[in-house]
A and B are shown apart, each in its own frame.
Chain A
Amino acid sequence: MNTNMLEKVLWDFGNDPSRVGRFQQNPDEYLSQYALSADEKRAIRELDVRTLSEHKVNALLTMMAFILMKGPQGMPEYMQRMNTPRS
């Protein structure tokens, strides 16, 4: 996975939170502006923070993006995903 590009996608959400709405309305169209593989798009679309973490995407960004998408109340789910190996 291209960690640099994945970090760019996540950082852009924090830098301009209006992007979150555009992403959530049409994830495929939103992600088409980035040079991402199918797997990378899936990881972003599904907020697969565990996989992103395993590919060394910075945890500051995975947490920030998850909270932007799910709200602060999403933290327990974030921690569960970070601590649950993918099957």
Chain B
Amino acid sequence: MAEIVGGFVMAHDPLITGEPEVADSKQRDNVMAAFSEICDRVRALEATTAIIVGDDHYVLFGPHCLPSMLIGIGDLEGPVEPWLRIERGPVENNQPLARHIMEEGFDNGFDWAVAKVLTLDHATMVPTQLVARPTGMKVIPVYLACGVAPFIRPRRAHQVGQLIKKAVESFPSDERVVVFGTGGISHWVGEAQMGRVNEEFDRMVLSCVEKGDVESLIRLDNDFILENGGNGALEIRNFICAMGAMSGLKGKIKGRVICYEAMPQWITGLGFAELLAA
């Protein structure tokens, strides 16, 4: 059967590829080194597919239709943003596994929204470009409602992760799968405080990831997150989902922080960690 062999939380800040020149060079190098280390770990894990959990930013989906949880099961291409400095083109999906995750969801009370054709935005394209492509992995995109209200409940995001784990482990193949929870951490996008980074909040989140304390992240209420981490910090739901997918036999996980950089020039506190079954 297929198995989840690893998990990571990482940034998907579009300025990483879109405006590298505005960043402090040392910090930029540290961030790129973090992506490089994740690539090395992916190769060591011999992973074949990355399930990349991200969120739309009111680009792919509009006020007429806002999916709470969506999986791309067919043709993928991207990025939708022409300024990302990533050449637009096809992205290889693991369609049989994606369809299996969809079906397993339907059989277990998870009514996925489904994209048979999907143009990816930076949330999934930045990790695709910087990790999946260099390591030759196929990509399965999952979009959770974190950027546009109504937001998926954090508990539900965790359950989606657990569903993904169950589905992967019931897929009859030797696929080795990694799960990426992407986004965050603190950033205020388009708001009056844009450019503010709250390192204290970010390190609290990473500490929870390190300790495997997903419950503390689930219990953070939206008002607290918005005040202390900005509208962009609601993306920690993607972290929570990845932690759900990595839960060990007794639901225990832990994390290893790879890098943290507070980068106002990139308007974000960028955090990277490897998730490990405890």
Residues of A within 8 A of B (CB): 4, 7-8, 11-12, 14-15, 53, 58-64, 79, 82-83
Contacts and interface: CB of A to CB of B under 8 A. Distances in A.
Nearest to A50: B192
B260 to A, nearest CB: 25
B58 A60 contact: yes
Contact of A8 (B63, B148, B191, B231): B63
A11 B56 CA distance: 13
* B-side interface mostly: loop
Contacts of B57: 60
Contact of B189 (A4, A7, A14, A60): A60
B192 A53 contact: yes
Give the size category of B's interface with A: 10 to 19
Interface centre among B64, B147, B194, B231 (most CB of A within 10 A): B194
A63 B189 contact: yes
10 contacts: A11-B58, A11-B63, A60-B58, A60-B231, A61-B190, A62-B190, A63-B189, A64-B58, A64-B190, A79-B195
B55 to A, nearest CB: 11
Contact of B191 (A4, A11, A53): A53
A58 B148 contact: yes
A13 B104 CA distance: 37
A16 B195 CA distance: 28
Contacts of A53: 191-192
A17 to B, nearest CB: 10
A8 B62 contact: yes
Contacts of A62: 190
